[in-house]
Amino acid sequence: MYTDKVMDHFSNPRNVGEIENADGVGEVGNASCGDIMKIYLKVENNIIKDVKFKTFGCGAAIATSSMVTEMAIGKTIDEALELTNAAVAEALDGLPPAKIHCSNLAADALHEAIKNYKESKA
């Protein structure tokens, strides 16, 4: 049911963990739905230097979290804000229809982390 890319990111997730003294932290989802994603950012000169994640959730939740970290690293804050859940799903060669609602929150988590970064800077 999952694509090879999803299974790759699920079985070898990239950038798992936390960043100490992160510049921004974002968390979305909730336990009742079965998915929680937490994203940590390191930002230098408006460029995302490092991203780490922690996720409670199904295969799709873990794979989208992993993928969004890869997609965000190296982007400017504004570029990262343009990343969508759909783009993350597309980069994984798609997700099963049932997973679109609950598991595709990775870009939302990233945006929350950026929001948190902007607020803490302001």
Partner 1 sequence: MKRIYMDNNATTAVRPEVLEAMLPYFREHFGNPSSVHWAGRAVSPAVEKAREQVAKLINCSAAEIVFISCGSEGDNHAIKGTAESLKDKGNHIITTTVEHPAVLHTCKALEKQGFEVTYLPVDKDGMLDLDALEKAITDKTILISIMWANNETGNIFPVEQIGAIAKKHKVRFHTDAVQAVGKIPVDVQAAGVDLLVLSGHKIGAPKGVGALYIRRGTKLTPLIHGGHQERNRRAGTHNVPSIVGLGVACELAGAEQAEHYARIKALRDRLEKGIFDQVPEVKLNGHPELRLPNTLNVSFAYIEGESLLLNFDMKGIAASSGSACTSGSLEPSHVMGAMCVDVVLAHSSTRFSLGADNTQEDVDYVLEVLPPIVQRLREMSPLYNRGGKPLTCDECQIVRRV
Q: How far is the CB of 39 from partner 1 (least distance, A)?
A: 10
SS3 label, residue 70? helix
Site stretch for partner 1 (CB under 8 A), options 23-31, 43-51, 78-86, 112-120 = 23-31
Q: Comparing C-alpha atoms, which of 25, 82, 81, 96 is closest to residue 54?
A: 25
Q: Which residues are catalytic?
A: 33, 102
Residue 73 to residues 20, 25, 38, 56, 110, Cα–Cα distance (Å): 17, 15, 16, 22, 11
Q: Residue 30 interacts with partner 1 (CB under 8 A)? A: yes
Site stretch for partner 1 (CB under 8 A), options 43-51, 57-65, 71-79, 81-89 = 57-65
Q: Out of 22, 23, 24, 37, which residue is the one contacting partner 1 (CB under 8 A)? A: 37
Q: Comparing C-alpha atoms, which of 80, 68, 72, 79 is closest to residue 106?
A: 68
CB of 85 within 8 A of CB of 106?
Answer: yes
Taking the CA atoms of 29, 89, 70 and 56 in sequence, report the sign of the dihedral they define: positive
Give the nearer residue to partner 1 in terms of CB position, either 55 or 116. Answer: 55
Q: Out of 51, 61, 89, 113, which residue is the one contacting partner 1 (CB under 8 A)? A: 61
Q: Out of 31, 78, 121, 122, which residue is the one contacting partner 1 (CB under 8 A)? A: 31
Binding site residues, partner 1, CB under 8 A: 7, 10-11, 13, 16, 27, 30-38, 54-62, 98-99, 101-103
